Amino acid sequence: MPSHLCLVCRAIPYDFWSKVHDQKEYSQQACVPLQSLECMRGEAADGCQLCEILFESTNEVQDQDSCIYLQRSHSAPHHIFTLKIGMNGDPISQAFFYRVPLWWCELFVSLQKQKHTPMERNLPVEIHEHVDNIRTMRSWLNRCLHKHLNCSSLQKDFLPTRLLDMQAFKTEQDIQLVDSQDVKIPGDAEYLTLSHCWGPPAKHSVKTEGRNLKARMTRISINDLSNTFRDAVRITRELGHRYLWIDSLCIIQDDKEDWAREAALMADVYGNATCTLAALSSEDGTKGCNIISDIQRSTCCSFLDLEVEFDRYSRLRIFQDEPANWVTEYGETPDQESEEKSPLRFRAWTLQESALSRRIVYFAKTQLLWQCREFKATAQLPWVEKRLEGESNLTPWPLDAYMTPGGPVSHSERWYRLVEDYSLRTLTYATDKLPALSGLAKGYVGGGQYGAGIWGAHFPGALLWQTTDEHACRHPPEDYIAPSWSWASTSGRVSYDSQRLKPFEQRFEGLSAELGIPYADFGFLKVDRIDVSPKYDDVYGAITSASLIMSGAQTICVDCPTSNKGAKTSVCCFTISAGSH
């Protein structure tokens, strides 16, 4: 489609877009007449992008002859400014626009190869030159690497045992599995990681096993890779990086010792990667990473980039509809629609992959998403830095959100939230339940002794988990995963809501005791000993047995208020059997 504005849209005065009208008290003063809907339809067909957006916003209007006008309006959240589209003095629809910040324009332009020719005022940005997803990713990476101190703090020189070399064959597309020690890769070399869904066994991607290890370290044909792996290879190269880590290719899958050893390194593998590529919308390797170079075609909400001042970097982005925020695109809520839209979000292994990574590009169903420790953004609004209010605890934020001490959230509450999120997710192999969490457990500071998914510092309250899934069941004895007192011993969703009850006096003042179970003081109960036997050398991974010895009163009575003011009734809440379990 030709990139131009019609004469009417070009004639919109500069003052209409002035920042003065960004203030709510002045926004209604800016109003400009345009043309009839019939004329607007014709200009849209001839390629005027602004007419197209405005016409699509009024597609249910019957009167085609009356003049359309634009009026500025104001929406407070996150610098969204609305355009009222009206007829005969009455608003009939609206469109949305954002001011593109100067720093993003400068960063984006500095990273692209283009002829530096003057741009006319009010000339639309050409789609193929300015909204390419690869350049968007480069811009995110560049700003994060050079401006975000939190994203680089405590990062160390680390290389995974094996990596995939993107430049092994220079002019050819094939890649090679290399031992990071044997080929003497510099310790400070940068690498990317891939987070992906394996899918059912029938759709498992190519993997490394003992029988083909030698061949993998000689050459891997690009044609042998799944669509997701091929896309990851291409993106890694286009981002200017040489090395990529993919679990199924860099870990010997049928070697239990190698698998256990590498699984124990996940905190370092993802925590020290330059960036993680996450195939969010792909349920298996056949779907690929959803990357389309033209961002207008890769999103479901059309927009127009518009230069509005003589300064070439002063830009607006005008949307037909309000663009979806990061949380919505990610698939926050645990329902069937979100699971179909973002299957990666519901895989157990990927919780620690996202939480441990410093920088992540998610390839969502309709657009790219960016996340680092300081910044979240979508490809449609790549400069929006605020974490949106209302995000639930299920939305993954980097490791600090779960682990950083201090703040209003208690040490145990951070772990409880993590466990609840983790329990929502699925595993191909139930025996991976603890290994798939081991990287996060290693990064958790101050919990004391760790065993079977529970921290010693959180006892005995940590034992008061409950399943909220009616289909939840214990794992069969032949697939030992965890002791019965651990949440990891069961499948299905787990809740720690019992530990969020307010103290007795606060929760039940003026209320009936039937509203819930009062908070209990655990001063009478203590854990004397925890014994855990790891299956391999990793105390955070799979285990073969565990036991817990506790001591305390066998019967506890709690006084509950009745409806009579001041009256109390003694109620026996629970009984504890002595011994170990």
Residue 111 lies in a domain: no
> Does the residue 515 lie in any domain?
yes
Q: Does some domain include residue 133?
A: no
**Residues 198 and 340 occupy one common structural domain:** yes
Q: What is the pLDDT along the chain (581 residues), one digit of tens a residue?
A: 335 789 999 888 888 887 777 776 666 678 888 898 889 989 999 989 899 888 887 766 666 677 888 888 776 544 567 777 777 667 778 888 888 887 777 776 665 544 433 333 344 444 333 347 888 899 899 989 988 888 887 677 889 999 999 999 877 899 999 999 877 777 678 999 999 998 887 777 789 999 999 999 999 999 999 999 999 999 999 899 999 999 999 999 999 999 999 998 998 999 999 999 999 988 888 888 877 655 665 666 678 888 776 455 578 888 888 887 788 788 766 665 666 778 898 899 989 898 889 999 999 888 889 999 888 998 888 887 554 444 443 344 445 544 444 444 467 888 898 999 899 898 888 899 999 999 888 877 766 889 899 998 888 888 889 988 777 677 676 778 999 999 999 888 899 988 877 554 444 444 334 444 444 456 667 788 889 999 988 889 999 999 988 887 666 555 555 555 554 444 445 455 444 44
Q: What are the residues facing 205 on neighbouring strands?
A: none
Give the residue among 333, 347, 321 at the shortest CA–CA distance from 390. Answer: 333
What distance lies between CA 254 and its chain's CA centroid?
Answer: 30
For the entire predicted model, the pTM comes to 0.81
Note whether 226 and 205 are within 8 A (CB): yes
pLDDT at 127: 37
Give the residue among 372, 445, 448 at the shortest CA–CA distance from 414. 445
- Model pLDDT, residue 486: 94
- Domain assignment of residue 277, given as a range: 151-295+324-402
HEC profile of 101-145: CHHHHHHHHHCCCCCCCCCCCCCECCHHHHCEHHHHHHHHHHHHH
Is 95 in the same domain as 173?
Answer: no
Compute, in degrees rounded to 10, the torsion defined by CA atoms 157, 162, 168, 174. -130
> Which of 385, 402, 419 is the last residue in one of the domains?
402
Handedness of CA 342, 347, 351, 353 (dihedral sign): negative
- 376 and 468 belong to one structural domain: no
Of 60, 80, 100, the residue that ends a domain is: 100
Looking at the fold, whether 258 and 367 belong to one and the same domain comes out as yes
Residues 344, 217, single domain; the answer is: yes
Give a yes or no: residue 302 inside a domain: no
Strand order in the sheet with 376-378: 176-179, 162-165, 243-245, 191-195, 275-278, 359-363, 368-372, 376-378
Judgement on whether residues 358 and 471 belong to the same structural domain of the protein: no
Give the Cα separation of 259 and 248 in Å (integer): 10
Whether 23 and 64 share a structural domain = yes
Check whether residue 372 and residue 419 sit in a common domain: no
Query: Considering the domain boundaries, does residue 182 fall inside one?
Result: yes
Total domains present in the chain: 3
For 86, other C-beta atoms within 10 Å of its C-beta total 21
Cα(1)–Cα(3) distance, integer angstroms = 6
Q: Residue 568: what pLDDT?
A: 47
Residue 307 lies in a domain: no
Confirm whether 23 is domain-assigned: yes
Q: Both 275 and 350 in a single domain?
A: yes
- Same domain? For 398 and 415 the reply is no
Torsion of CA 55, 61, 67, 73, to 10 degrees: -70
Q: Are both 440 and 537 inside the same structural domain?
A: yes
Indicate whether 347 and 215 sit together in one domain: yes
Q: Is residue 534 part of a domain?
A: yes
**Full DSSP string of 182-243:** TTT--TT--EEEEE----SGGGPPP---GGGHHHHTT-B-GGGS-HHHHHHHHHHHHTT--E
The residue among 6, 100, 95, 91 whose CA lies nearest residue 57 is 95
Out of 69, 100, 131, a domain closes at: 100
Secondary-structure percent of the chain, ordered helix, strand, coil, rounded to 5: 35, 25, 45
